[in-house]
Chain A
Amino acid sequence: MHTDVLVIGAGPAGLAAAAAAAEHGAEVLLVDRESRPGGILKQCIHDGFGVIRYEEKLTGPEYAYRDIEAVRAYGLRVLNNTFVLDLKQSVDGFSLLLQNPIDGAFRVDTKALVAANGCRERTSRQVFIHGDRPAGIYSAGTAQNLINLHGYLPGRKVVILGSGDIGMIMARRLTLEGAEVAGVYEIKDEPSGLTRNRVQCLDDYNIPLYLNTTVTRVHGTKRVTGVSVAAVGADLKPLPGSETLVPCDTLLLSVGLIPENDILEPLALEFDAKTGGPVVDQRMMTSVPGLFSCGNATHVNDMVDYVSESGFNAGRAAANYCQHGGSQGSVEVVSGNNLLYAVPQRLVSGEEAAIYFRSDKTIDRVILVAQAAGKELFREKYLRIRPPEMQKIVLQPLSPEVESVEIGLEEVT
């Protein structure tokens, strides 16, 4: 079978991309590996979604419902329980081998492809925790899935490593469901999640947050019986003699998210080592013409509103690509002083562009400056900027002679 735009992933990015591509006249097929659309929002039952887009604090399922209804209104073809087995470029686009329980394995050819695969949680093996492998070690998202979708409490006494947003949200959730959270342990000197979550998830329930502290060892053979925690020095290495034992039956990890793009490997596209996702322009086109990336597969966002925004951009651009072709913009975005990263990494001249960025540390009183060949394009002042809180600016259309744009944060002295 054939389609104009095939979207992989029915989370917030994919739903937005599918709706936008349909709105711009493309025939769209939306493919998702789960039995119901909504992606991770299905298990994010807490509120705080949609603050920018709707000026409301929706829960995850409520936010997803609005996008699912929009996709339904376009009468789009949606394939649930469907996996991508193989993916390759073809003469006029991409050829995918898909599989699901109803249709078996089948091939779909598409002119444009939107990869909205989302991200995955970093695991215990990726943070080098030593010890045995007893039951009771979960990523925060797995615990969220067990509690919110299946009704299983993963443990009674819980230690949380890492102060990412999901970890803090799960600290509250576990407390509400009757578990005891012994503490949240963060290796850095400040929480890695949003301040709102520290206040409303930890402070509200008197859950202690230990900064400059990490888990060094897991104890227990069949089931976790406790963890060793230790203070760390400036080099983030445990300080000798500071180790103490915290009895617990469960360890949750909330130690970061990584864009998931394994299925794109056959296409040999350009990646950004800083974001872990493909290099894109403001239309969300990757280095492979006709292949678009959006949402947390491009870079890990702090707000779903931005995820949806990138999905709309990708979907609209994918529909336009079917009509007019084109390739990735060639203007390079260089992330300079005090920036962790900036997305998109390329720009198409003559079109407005939203740029999303994170600082590499917490800085007070700072000015963001965007410039091209020594000429200032944009300037904005921030009272405080923190790595967990992504920022967005909008650049006016660039003139054709601009070859690169440098973006950096300058401290006000």
Chain B
Amino acid sequence: MEKRELTCIQCPLSCRVTVSGEGDQLKFTGNQCKQGIEYARQEVTNPTRTLTTTIATAFPDFPLLPVRTAGEVPLGKIFEIMKVIRAVQVEQRLKPGDVILEIIPGTDKALIATADMCEGVSAVVVK
């Protein structure tokens, strides 16, 4: 592996951690504590992120539903997942946590709604 420079985000120090070496022989420099090693190891071996985006709905008053992956997915698969998600349309009014896809193809995670599409707190007529 060629050398990689990362910014550790475990604490405000934001150490620049340099990673070099291969497989079990990874070398870390620049970190000021152990957290930097764990962070950098994860980032160079299997970086994962929660993907948040929107999908289309069938409801003109709520045209887009915000969604996220239920847990982190591989960073390298994000664009692939976006492609899958883009083809989905919501036909029912959902609430946060409602499952849209049990398993997103290519991952082991579900796709869930994050917003409440049902009626908001309704206006009260004042007289």
**CB within 8 Å of B: which residues of A?**
1, 10, 35-37, 42, 45-47, 57, 59-62, 65, 68, 71-72, 76-82, 100, 102-103, 106, 108, 147-151, 176-177, 195-196, 198-200, 203-204, 382-386, 389
Contact = CB atoms under 8 A, between A and B. Distances in A.
A1 B125 CA distance: 12
A195 B9 contact: yes
Pairs of residues from A and B, 8 with the lowest C-beta to C-beta distance, nearest first: A61-B115, A45-B66, A36-B120, A78-B121, A59-B114, A195-B14, A196-B9, A103-B126
A45 B55 CA distance: 12
A149 B123 contact: no
Nearest to A169: B52
A61 B122 CA distance: 18
Contacts of B123: 78-82, 100, 102
Interface SS, A side = mixed
Given A46-B52, A176-B82, A61 B114 contact: yes
Interface residues of B, number: 35
B49 A59 contact: no
Interface of B: 6-7, 9, 11-14, 47, 49-50, 52-54, 56, 63-64, 66, 68, 75, 78-79, 82, 95-96, 114-116, 120-127
B34 to A, nearest CB: 15
Interface SS, B side = loop
Contact of A59 (B14, B66, B116): B66
B126 A1 contact: yes
A76 B14 CA distance: 44
Which one of B11, B56, B82, B115 has the greatest number of beta carbons of chain A within 10 Å?
A: B115
B52 A59 contact: yes
Contact of A151 (B52, B56, B122): B56
B75 to A, nearest CB: 6
Nearest to B55: A151
